[in-house]
Structure 1
Amino acid sequence: MSDESSPLPRRAFLKGTLATTMLSTTAELARTAEAASKAAADSPIVQENARPGADDWQLTRVRVDGAGFRSPWIEGYCSKQSVTVGESIDVMVSCDPARRFRLELFRMGYYGGKGARLVKSFGPLEATTQPTPKPGEKNLHECNWDSSLTIDIPEDWLSGVYIGRLTTIPEAGEAYWQSHIVFVVRDDRPADILFQVSDNTWQAYNPWPNNYSVYTHPQGTQGPWADVSFDRPYAREAQHHSVVDDPRTVGSGEFLPFEFPLAYWLEQHGYDVSYCSNSDMLTPDRGLKCKAFISVGHDEYWDIRQFQSVQTMRDEGVNLLFLSGNSICWVTPFRESSSGTPNRIMFRGGPYGGEQSHAVTRHEEHGPFPHRGPDEGLLIGARNVRPVNGGGDWAITKPEHWIFKGTGVKVGDTIPGLVGWEYHGNPAEIEGLEVVAGGTAWQSGVNPQNWTATIYSGPKGNFVFNAATIFWSQGLSTPPGHVLPWSHWSRPHGPDPRVQQITHNLLRRAIDNKKV
């Protein structure tokens, strides 16, 4: 049917209107990106990404055992979650059967679209078959393997996420096999943006060696029963059956599927970004030197000291961007390893949420827990809800808000599939808090739950934004080595100029403290 007031058929008219809106958004995005790049011309990130990228850094030949978790043919882990220049880190490697191997170490970034830069190669080195630990108290698996090599961090290694590729050197007639290791190089410089990787959550879900995570204790999947150690390899990405089906994640935690698209995009546009692990946020000192703090991806497990640190940062004027979902869900106390290394063992100590119903119910159904965290909504703006997982479209409710400048969006416009794997809802009672997007997430068409993206002002002209979805980064970029995740028969579509422009707007306001 034609629209009588228009010389064009209605469908063609709407199509043309949408195309015009998208062209306008793309033009605004280009202007914003150009301005950001020019402003950051002297950034160490810009200088780093001008260096040659690697053509070959991904895993090529991957083999996992019959259970689908580990790669005993070659696997390894690092002695620390993060390290700074001038320090060293040990890498523990096991091969079954014993083999020589080589390690290529890459810094992850943009690098002209290649996604990584080779910083150093090691080998050939010798690897023995190191023992699989027997389950300890609370099903703890702590490897205590011998070190295969020690890496001294030189002065010119910029803060970032560093992924190593372990490759066996085959004997005659054999195939080679590969897996990853991962760690963060941190620094202490004043930076515009602090990017916190969600490695506590990587470890909580890590099923190495054979389905042993905080979710697999016989007493229950949601209680405080299991301990997990960072002294073990990361198995294949723990959500692979339901969210990410990509064996190339073996050894790299959840960085590649959920966090790399943000790091790649930030470095592509020259943002001055520094990186840290969850365990680096036990005091607010690092964050107070930055203008913006980003929680990314699946950021579920926080030591209570992390919560207190980020709360202090907000109160002191740091802008907080929760480009994440299911964030600050479980109190996760750290303790030292059996060898005395700090912050190497953790467990699910209890729910965040204070007296909110989702916390009270979890405590009653899955406890008793030794801890109850404060209401996370009073920090992040919205809360963990039940059900907390599902998929949906990210629907705009307040298009006049400054975060949408240059996007051309209207009330009810949607970004398909951007909500998932888990999300936030139930906005907190904070004066001036605004719901900028919201809608319904579904578990394969059932169990509907409302989600809400929120923003509120901090006490010193800063702000706290909550995108309310693990999948936000999927709308920014699709770097090499990345596979789009999915959730409950719903999936994001990849880069979207509206997500990119919203993120530029947020970062411009955070960094320049100017209205956009």
Structure 2
Amino acid sequence: MRRLGYVLLVLVIGIDRHRASGADESAHAANPIVAENAQEGSLDWQLTRVRVDDRGFRSPWIEGYCSRQSVKAGESIDIMVSTNPPQRFEIEIFRMGYYGGRGARLMTKLGPFDGVTQPDPPKGEKNLHECRWPAATKLTIPTDWLSGVYLGRLTTLPEDKDKPYWQSYVIFIVTDDRPADILFQCSDNTWQAYNRWPNDFSVYTHPQGGQGPWADVSFDRPYAREAQHNEIVNDPLTVGAGEFLPFEFPLAYWLEEQGYDVAYCSNSDMLTPDRGLKCRAFISVGHDEYWDIRQFRSVEVLRDAGVDLLFLSGNAVCWVTPYRASVDGRENRIMFRGGPYGADNDYAEQRQREHGPFPERGPDEGLLIGARNIEPVNGGGDWIVTQPEHWMFNGTGLQAGDLIPGLIGWEYHGAPADIPGLEVVAAGTAWVGGDEPQQWTATIYPGPKQNFVFNAATIFWSQGLSTPPGHTLPWSHWSRPHGPDRRVQRITKNLLDRALAPPTTE
């Protein structure tokens, strides 16, 4: 819990090693997350009646998408919706958080609207499926809506009361420019890379190959059911919500429960470092595989300016992901797999040989995140402590060789970089296919201004923090995490407490 005493201390001494922008410290006198979560949460925000088609990729009965990945208070976002058959519907907008354990707050209800069946887009060059649906409604974000992840629940309203209703989500992020302690970067590039709407079209499903640069994907289409539901998460709650609910919401829920001052952004909000320089800590969460090269350079700037970096993620910074504009000129709405990160390392050369040619090559991600993407990169295993004397383990009771069961998966990092002061704090075996061994490593290294970079080395880290309402635990290669674990919670708290502490004097 972020304590008022610490806030006052920071204000009095007037020192902030993380505030490279020189923002006014008085912004930290009040914590808007605490005030927001004191509002009454909703008892009814989950999807109740969910239906997907025979292929399992979409819910044509009602589905939609938003015109932007993120939006600021005072700005507008369009919501596009299709219903098949045509019927009336409504939209309820929820902000996701803790809210006394309920997980969401109802912000507004829109409609009812007359739904129509919108056309599937024609297949374009590089298998692009870009919807051009007219907006069902335009939502101007009220000025008092706090930064966060917002779900719009779409519900059909059948005229015949003997007919069932159907539901799905749309998702968008409200971002802002205020100074905040923690910046939570959603991994929405990866949500879209795996999105197979409408009928098995993602960056992985092009006939030329699933790992090459052949396929373009557009944010102008609904999110199908969570893309790896048959292998990782069997959760109908996710229809329309990308991968936020299974892989990222447990972290957001826990941070807001603890009262941390957290703001949210999309991958596309990090094309410059400006947003992150107003925060003390930056978090990459869940499955954060696809980064535009400008994101990489921005986060380098954060590190070098003294912002603490927490990669509570796996398979992060794996593929260079260039953006381009939509057909109507909205920026950052189409992306593709442009090439591997890894510079001239063997694994990057291997990807180029086996899946290229690629038009781009990224730098060695290990020099930023501490460890690297390795081949094979998916499996499951236990998170095993190697450096129990490190300060991040204070109060956990963990000893060398102690394990946190099932916390490694779906994908992970290994091959630690040669960085002065880097420590491998946990390491072990991930079992690929259930019995083929691969080695992973969790690392931490010092930044240049009393800051640090931590790499948890697993997509599943958030599973050890909380189980929000309706949450389904994932699994990977016959291995599964156990859910909230006080040791994962304490490690995360120790890291954040260090990140948010006043600087020591030289």
In the superposition, the TM-score normalised over structure 1's length comes to 0.92
Letter in 1 for 2:242: G
Match of 1:131 in 2: 119
Match of 2:153 in 1: 165
Q: Please say if 1:92 is aligned against 2:74.
A: no
Match of 1:111 in 2: 99
For residues 346 and 127 of structure 1, the distance between their equivalents in structure 2, rounded to whole angstroms, comes to 29
Q: 1:284 aligns with which of 264, 267, 273?
A: 273
| 1:36, distance to aligned residue in structure 2 (A) | 8.2
Letter in 2 for 1:200: N
For residues 251 and 503 of structure 2, the distance between their equivalents in structure 1, rounded to whole angstroms, comes to 23
Report the secondary structure of 2:286's partner residue.
strand
| 1:225, distance to aligned residue in structure 2 (A) | 0.2
Report the secondary structure of 1:431's partner residue.
coil
Letter in 2 for 1:350: G
For residues 459 and 291 of structure 1, the distance between their equivalents in structure 2, rounded to whole angstroms, comes to 14
For residues 291 and 231 of structure 2, the distance between their equivalents in structure 1, rounded to whole angstroms, comes to 24
For residues 179 and 511 of structure 1, the distance between their equivalents in structure 2, rounded to whole angstroms, comes to 38
Q: Please say if 1:51 is aligned against 2:39.
A: yes
| 1:38, distance to aligned residue in structure 2 (A) | 8.4
Counterparts of 1:32-431 in structure 2 under 5 Å?
Answer: 33=1, 35=3, 42-172=30-160, 173-431=162-420
Assess, with a 3 A threshold, how the Cα gap between structure 1 residues 114 and 38 changes in structure 2: closer, same or farther.
Answer: farther
For residues 421 and 75 of structure 1, the distance between their equivalents in structure 2, rounded to whole angstroms, comes to 28
| 1:68, distance to aligned residue in structure 2 (A) | 0.5
Letter in 2 for 1:398: Q
For residues 424 and 60 of structure 1, the distance between their equivalents in structure 2, rounded to whole angstroms, comes to 36
For residues 356 and 118 of structure 1, the distance between their equivalents in structure 2, rounded to whole angstroms, comes to 49
| 1:35, distance to aligned residue in structure 2 (A) | 4.9
Q: Please say if 1:503 is aligned against 2:492.
A: yes
Match of 1:443 in 2: 432
Asked whether the 8 Å contact 1:37–1:271 carries over to 2, the reply is no
Deviations 1:81-126 (A, max 9, x none): 0000110000000000111000000000000000000000011111
Letter in 1 for 2:300: Q
Letter in 1 for 2:66: C
Match of 1:27 in 2: none
Report the secondary structure of 2:153's partner residue.
strand
| 1:444, distance to aligned residue in structure 2 (A) | 3.5
| 1:355, distance to aligned residue in structure 2 (A) | 1.1
| 1:445, distance to aligned residue in structure 2 (A) | 3.0
| 1:174, distance to aligned residue in structure 2 (A) | 1.0
Asked whether the 8 Å contact 2:2–2:260 carries over to 1, the reply is no
Deviations 1:150-170 (A, max 9, x none): 001111000000001000001
Letter in 2 for 1:181: V
Asked whether the 8 Å contact 1:41–1:270 carries over to 2, the reply is no
For residues 312 and 259 of structure 2, the distance between their equivalents in structure 1, rounded to whole angstroms, comes to 19
For residues 445 and 187 of structure 1, the distance between their equivalents in structure 2, rounded to whole angstroms, comes to 43
Asked whether the 8 Å contact 1:37–1:270 carries over to 2, the reply is no
For residues 237 and 335 of structure 1, the distance between their equivalents in structure 2, rounded to whole angstroms, comes to 24
Assess, with a 3 A threshold, how the Cα gap between structure 1 residues 270 and 37 changes in structure 2: closer, same or farther.
Answer: farther
| 1:446, distance to aligned residue in structure 2 (A) | 2.4
Letter in 2 for 1:466: N
| 1:481, distance to aligned residue in structure 2 (A) | 2.2
For residues 385 and 218 of structure 1, the distance between their equivalents in structure 2, rounded to whole angstroms, comes to 25
For residues 156 and 86 of structure 1, the distance between their equivalents in structure 2, rounded to whole angstroms, comes to 9
Deviations 1:357-397 (A, max 9, x none): 11110011000000010000000000000110000000000
| 1:34, distance to aligned residue in structure 2 (A) | 7.9
Asked whether the 8 Å contact 1:396–1:409 carries over to 2, the reply is yes
Report the secondary structure of 1:144's partner residue.
coil
Asked whether the 8 Å contact 1:234–1:250 carries over to 2, the reply is yes
For residues 305 and 36 of structure 1, the distance between their equivalents in structure 2, rounded to whole angstroms, comes to 36
Q: Which runs of 5+ in 2 are unaligned?
A: 8-27
For residues 361 and 513 of structure 1, the distance between their equivalents in structure 2, rounded to whole angstroms, comes to 44
Structure 1 vs Structure 2: percent identity of aligned residues? 73
Match of 2:468 in 1: 479
Assess, with a 3 A threshold, how the Cα gap between structure 1 residues 149 and 245 changes in structure 2: closer, same or farther.
Answer: same
Letter in 1 for 2:386: T
> Over aligned residues, Cα RMSD in angstroms?
1.3
Report the secondary structure of 1:45's partner residue.
helix
For residues 303 and 378 of structure 2, the distance between their equivalents in structure 1, rounded to whole angstroms, comes to 27
| 1:247, distance to aligned residue in structure 2 (A) | 1.3
Deviations 1:35-82 (A, max 9, x none): 589869931000000000000000000010010110000000000000
Report the secondary structure of 2:174's partner residue.
strand
Deviations 1:300-332 (A, max 9, x none): 000000000000110111100000000000000
| 1:513, distance to aligned residue in structure 2 (A) | 4.0
For residues 380 and 455 of structure 1, the distance between their equivalents in structure 2, rounded to whole angstroms, comes to 9
Asked whether the 8 Å contact 2:380–2:434 carries over to 1, the reply is no
Asked whether the 8 Å contact 2:273–2:301 carries over to 1, the reply is yes
For residues 48 and 221 of structure 2, the distance between their equivalents in structure 1, rounded to whole angstroms, comes to 23
For residues 511 and 461 of structure 1, the distance between their equivalents in structure 2, rounded to whole angstroms, comes to 11
Match of 1:25 in 2: none
Report the secondary structure of 2:248's partner residue.
helix
Deviations 1:180-213 (A, max 9, x none): 0000000000100000000000000000000000
For residues 514 and 423 of structure 1, the distance between their equivalents in structure 2, rounded to whole angstroms, comes to 32
For residues 267 and 198 of structure 1, the distance between their equivalents in structure 2, rounded to whole angstroms, comes to 18
